Structure 1
Amino acid sequence: MTTDWHKHSAPSIAEFEAIAATAFKKLPAAFRDMTNDVLIRVEDFPTDEVLDSLGIDSPFGLLGLYQGVDLTRQSVLDPSALPEMIFLYRRPILDYWAEHDERLGDIVTHVLVHEIGHHFGLSDADMARIESDTAG
């Protein structure tokens, strides 16, 4: 089978947002419903400030980030200054995809579950269970 590679390119940010939306819709409904107002944003790379704050040298070293106070530490008495957000970093995810034998949608799902898991303070075992419920 030959493929005309001239017709293929890396997914744009808009296409990546569609991949993320599809991955999110495939997560278990109860898990999705708990996310409420968490926004999902796709950006090419994390900012230098984010990398510096996490002690990460390479902009390719971070695939996603949860920004906000996780539910285990939130208080109704402490209003959040920033909206709860999950960032998916397109270029690092694409780089990871190029180096591993995984489907892009599976990688995006993994990053989403991991970052949403931070929001809820879930264990690695909980996140693995959610991913396995999503696989199919």
Structure 2
Amino acid sequence: MQTETKIDWAGATAPTLEDFEAMADAAYARLPSEFRAVCEGLIIRVEDFPDDDVLDEMKCESEFDLLGLFQGRGLAQRGAAAETGEFPNMVWLYRRPILDYWASHEETLGAIVTHVLVHEIGHHFGFSDDDMEEIEGRAE
């Protein structure tokens, strides 16, 4: 018989930006190697919220509307050589919107972080939703 682990919610605190970075790094490390290969040089950043310019550009009604964002060039936009001064590909994960989403769904926080990470990368590298679902499954 399996025993249930109880969490002391009364003493629990929200994961910090550093906790989220550790979750994102762990999630990325669990992704299949062929998926990570297309992400060479990818930088993962965690912030509480997207900045106002991003919210305006994405036409968000609230700072809670965006869980993550890929900034850079996907495979379709990449040429033979990078442009001078070009920034590396980056994925931004937004802690507060992710926590808000987590609070109203039955998924684990780690699963949500993995999902956002895979989807932000995958859409810009031409992966289908089915491909990304399979990649997430292999990361678990």
Give TM-score scaled by structure 1 length: 0.91
Q: 2:87 is matched with which residue?
A: 82
Larger helix share, 1 or 2? 1
Counterpart selection for 1:35 from 36, 39, 48: 39
| Structure 2 segments unaligned to the other structure (5+ residues) | none
| Secondary structure of 2:86 counterpart | coil
How many pairs does the alignment contain?
135
User: Once structures 1 and 2 are overlaid, which stretch shifts more, 93-102 or 110-119?
Assistant: 110-119
Q: By how many angstroms is 1:6 displaced?
A: 3.6
Structure 1 residues 5 and 77, CA gap change in structure 2 (3 angstroms):
closer
Amino acid at match of 2:70: Y
Provide structure 1 residue ranges, at least 5 long, that are not aligned to the other structure.
none
Match in the other structure for 1:53: 57
Deviates more, 1:73-82 or 1:25-34: 73-82
Structure 1 window deviating more from structure 2 (49-58 vs 24-33): it is 24-33
SS at match of 1:59: coil
- Provide the residue aligned with 1:64 in structure 2: 68
Q: Percent sequence identity over matched residues? A: 53
The two structures have a TM-score, normalised by structure 2, of 0.89
Q: 1:14 aligns with which of 14, 18, 33?
A: 18
